[in-house]
Amino acid sequence: MILQESISTAIDAIRANFLRSFLTAIAIIIGTASVIAMVGIGSSAQKAIDDSITNASARTLSVYPSRARGTQKINSTPLVIKDADALIKDKEIQWRVSPEIRGSKSLKYGNESITISVTGARENYFDIQGYEINHGVFFNGRDDLARKRVAVIGSAVGTELKTSSEALVGKEVNLGGVTFKIIGVINSEGVSGWSNPDDQIYIPLLTASDRVFGRDRVDSIRVEVPNLHSPEEAMISIERVLRREHDIGPGEENNFRIHDWSQFTDLQRQATAIFSALIIGIAGISLLVGGIGVMNIMLVSVTERTREIGLRKALGATEKAILFQFIIEAVTLCIIGGVAGVLLGSFLYFIITLFQDWPFAIPFSAIFGSVTFSACIGLFFGIWPARKAAQLEPAVALRYE
């Protein structure tokens, strides 16, 4: 009851000096708003990174041919489909292996013609990537072995051909001079990294190799390593197989490289975390400055209301009651600032998620934490002015001009 009374007294006092209270609270508002916005952005970015790892229970290793030092030319020993098959056949490697051929071809449908990124892959490619079928079907292993001219397209391809991707299912298109039948459309995936799966066409690996690109050289071999296995051991196994396939003698350098993409995401995650921590640190300084402002305004308030304090004491207010009243006032001011900051920060973050196409997810702990922290700032910086108020001599305070 006393608390409720004190809070309503505090709100009255804040309202009576609204402009001053608002200006004081600005630093608190900015501080909390940046904490909320940054934590939100941080968690969204984290989520985006997490989502880009196709399967959370596995890491993906990619094998690339290495370039000869100092040149842009592909090394004379490329990666070929046979290398992938050797990896699949090896007893130690029991994981999914996905050789991929990539290139760019023209795609014609009716009178429309566009240039499109082509990925030639096996049927497991879609599952490894986490792509889901939206219309029609994916191609399967038999399509691949038969070098069938079938294709799956991204959801945005239809629009570029002045039709819709759904409408293209069952239709024939011309890809680099070869007629293909569209058999499926994948769900819209959104941009991930620097590629957009929605803009691409996917065809069986052997079809790509024999009918479209005319090469058995692959651009990469993806190996999906379940988290149970250490990626380092997996790398050693892959290295062993490929060195054997490529006839690399002891002491000679590898002519391929194995890239651990999850290391990259780890780095990205770390960078985001460091960035967030930095901004939150700055926000903390803002809150501290805000707290000093609150202390300043509370000191002014105590001086201004010396007669009121004297009167309250004359009517029987104990030191504790006065102390409590002014601390509550400082804390209330900071909590109002904190809540306003949370709203402002959430709003800013919401705007950013709209532009970035991110999920909107502020952790409750951030809201709770930043409001609590503001309250603590109020408590900490309110104590001194409140003590000053509580220790005023009633006889002197009553006559203060």
Partner 1 sequence: MSLIKAEGITKQYLLGNQTVDALRGISFDINQGEFIAIMGPSGSGKSTLMNIIGCLDTPTQGKYFLNQQEVSTFKGDELAKIRNKEIGFVFQTFHLLARNTALDNVMLPLKYAGFDKAKQMKRAKSVLLQVGLESRMEHQPSELSGGQQQRVAIARALVNKPSILFADEPTGNLDSQTGNEVIKLFKDLHDQGQTIILITHENEIASIAQRTIFIKDGLIESDTQNK
User: Exposed, middle or buried by CB within 10 Å (0-12, 13-18, 19+), for 55?
Assistant: middle
Whichever of 48 and 311 has its CB closer to partner 1, that residue is 311
User: Exposed, middle or buried by CB within 10 Å (0-12, 13-18, 19+), for 89?
Assistant: exposed
Bridging pattern class, strands 112-121 and 200-204: parallel
Dist CA 386 CA 297 (whole Å): 12
| Residue appearing with tokens 């300084």 | 285
Q: Which of residues 7-46 bind partner 1 (CB under 8 A)?
A: 12-13, 16
Stretch that binds partner 1, among 108-116, 170-178, 289-297, 312-320 (CB under 8 A): 312-320
Whichever of 130 and 394 has its CB closer to partner 1, that residue is 394
Q: What's the min distance (Å) between Cβ of 283 and partner 1?
A: 34
311 makes contact with partner 1 (CB under 8 A) = yes
Dist CA 267 CA 288 (whole Å): 31
Among 66, 78, 319, 379, binds partner 1 (CB under 8 A): 319
Q: What's the min distance (Å) between Cβ of 284 and partner 1?
A: 35
317 makes contact with partner 1 (CB under 8 A) = yes
User: Exposed, middle or buried by CB within 10 Å (0-12, 13-18, 19+), for 337?
Assistant: buried
Q: Which of residues 368-397 bind partner 1 (CB under 8 A)?
A: 393-395
Crossing angle for the helix pair 319-356 and 18-52, to the nearest 10 degrees: 40
The helices-and-strands tally (H runs, E runs) of the chain is: 14, 10
Whichever of 149 and 312 has its CB closer to partner 1, that residue is 312
Whichever of 257 and 307 has its CB closer to partner 1, that residue is 307
Number of residues that bind partner 1 (CB under 8 A): 24
320 makes contact with partner 1 (CB under 8 A) = yes
Among 213, 313, 336, 373, binds partner 1 (CB under 8 A): 313
> 195: which DSSP letter?
B
Among 236, 314, 354, 361, binds partner 1 (CB under 8 A): 314
Among 43, 308, 375, 386, binds partner 1 (CB under 8 A): 308
Q: What's the min distance (Å) between Cβ of 379 and partner 1?
A: 22
C-alpha dihedral, 293 to 383 to 390 to 11, nearest 10°: 60
Binding residues for partner 1, rule: CB under 8 A, are 1-2, 5, 12-13, 16, 307-308, 311-321, 393-395, 398-399
